[in-house]
Amino acid sequence: MDIRHIRYLVSAVDGGSLSSAAKQQFVTVQAVSKGISELEAEVGTPLLIRSNHGVKPTAVGQGFYNRARRILDSFNELEAFSDRVTTQHSRERLLLSFCAPPFEGGDVAMKRLADIVGAKLGIEIEILIAPGKTSLEALRSGTVDALCMIGSYSAPDTDCIAIGSLPTGVGMTKDHPLARRKTLSLADVAPYPIIWSEDFDSFNRSICTVYRERGLTAPIVRINEDGTCDPADTDLTKAVYFSVYLSPFGQPFRESRVVPIDASEAISIPICLVTLKTTKSEAYLKLEQQLRSVFKLTSLLRA
C-alpha cells in the first residue's frame, strides 16, 4: 500500500470531501481521487461513498480509516524522529545514545528524561538505546553527539565525564532461586553463572568488570555478539547479571527481577557522558556547561 493513498483517504474522511483532502495534502483533486481508487482496488471493496455533498466512509471504509489513523500517527512520529536525527548537529538539537540493552519502558523513560533536560536547557534532545559497540561506532562516524553509559570509558580519541552514579543490583528471572531475596551479597550469587555480554561488558568498565576486579568468584558465561553462549551448555535459567538498581523504573525486563546488592558490597557505578575530543556539538557544549545544575540523574528520573 502507498502511504500517500492512505493519507488521501484519511484526509478525505476528516474533511468530508476530496477537495478538502487535496488542499490538505497539497495535490490535485484528480490525484486524490486516483489514489483512493487505487487503494480501493487493492483492498477489493469501496472505502468511500461519493455524492454531490462530499464523501463519507463505507462500513469497511470506516474500519480502514480507524486503523489508518493509528498507523499514520505512528508513521508521522517515525518521520519526525528521522527529521530530528538527520538535523541533530546544531545549536538547538542533541542526539545521545544510551549504551544499554532495550528494557521494559525504556523508550518512554528516555523520552521523559530527554524532555526534562531539554526543557531546562532550551534545546531538543533525543536519546536512543543501543549496544555499547554500536554506540561507539555511531559516535565516531558523527551520527550521534555523545554517548551516555553505565561505567567509565577510556580511549585516546574520546573524553569521558561522570555526571552522577547509581547503585548496583543483580538481575535474574522472576522464578530464580534468589528472586525473593531483599538484598544479595556476592557470596549469594557465587554458585550461579554471571552473564558477561560482549555487547555491554567488553567495551568499558562495566559493573561486572569492577566486581571481577574485586575478586568475584562466580563462574562467567559469555554471551557472544551472535547470541551464542560460552560455555555452550550453560543453564541460562540459573544465570544472573549485574545491573543498576533504580526502583522507580520497576523491573527492566518482563518476567525478570533486579535485587539490590547488600550495602556492605554495593558500589556506586558512574553514569558517564562520552564525546570525541575533536568534535563537540554546540548543543552538547551547552549541556556540559550546565551539567552540574541540571543533570542530577537520579532526581530527574524520579521526578
- Asked whether residue 300 carries a pLDDT value surpassing 50, the answer given is no
Q: Examine the pLDDT at 248 and tell me if it is beyond 80.
A: no
> Who wins on pLDDT, 191 or 72?
191
The DSSP-derived string for 237-258 is GG-BEEEE--GGG--SSTTEEE
Residue 37: pLDDT band by 50, 70, 90 thresholds? Answer: very high
51-63 in b/e form (b: 16+ CB < 10 A) is eeeebebeeebee
The residue with cell 490538505 is 24
If you average pLDDT over residues 111-117, what whole number do you get?
83
Q: Which residue has the higher pLDDT, 5 or 293?
A: 5
Rounded to the nearest integer, the mean pLDDT of the chain is 83
**What domains sit in the chain, N to C, each tagged with a CATH number?**
3-67 (1.10.10.10), 93-163+271-302 (3.40.190.10), 164-268 (3.40.190.10)
- What nine digits make up the cell of 5? 493513498
- Nearest-angstrom CA–CA distance, 216 and 219: 9
Q: Which triple of cell numbers denotes residue 19?
A: 477537495
The pLDDT of residue 181: 93
CA 142-163-98 angle, to 5 degrees, is 45
Residue 282 main-chain phi, psi, to 5 deg: -60, -40
DSSP assignment string, 46-95: --EEEETTEEEE-HHHHHHHHHHHHHHHHHHHHHHHHHHHHT-SSSSEEE
Greater model confidence, 104 or 18: 18
Judged by average pLDDT, the poorest of 25-29, 106-110, 177-181 is 106-110
The answer on pLDDT for 91 being more than 90 is no
> What is the chain's Cα-based Rg?
25
Contact 253, 135 (CB under 8 A): no
Closest by alpha carbon to 200, among 232, 165, 243, 164? 243
Where b means 16+ CB within 10 Å and e means fewer, 200-216 reads bbebbbbbbbbbbeeeb
Distance, in Å, from the CA atom of 144 to the CA atom of 155, rounded to the nearest integer, reads 17
Mean pLDDT, rounded, for 177-188: 92
What region, left, alpha or beta, does residue 235 occupy, with left being phi > 0 and alpha being psi -120 to 50 degrees?
beta
For 262, which DSSP code?
P
pLDDT at 130: 85
Taking residues 185-207, what's their average pLDDT? 89
Residue 253: per-residue pLDDT:
57
Check whether 301 has a pLDDT greater than 60: no
d(CA 303, CA 301): 6
If one compares 53 and 295, the residue with the highest pLDDT of the two is 53
> 284 falls in which pLDDT band (50, 70, 90)?
confident
pLDDT band at 34 (very low <50, low <70, confident <90, very high): very high
State pLDDT tens for residues 127-165: 888 888 888 988 998 888 899 888 999 999 999 998 888
| pLDDT for res 299 | 45
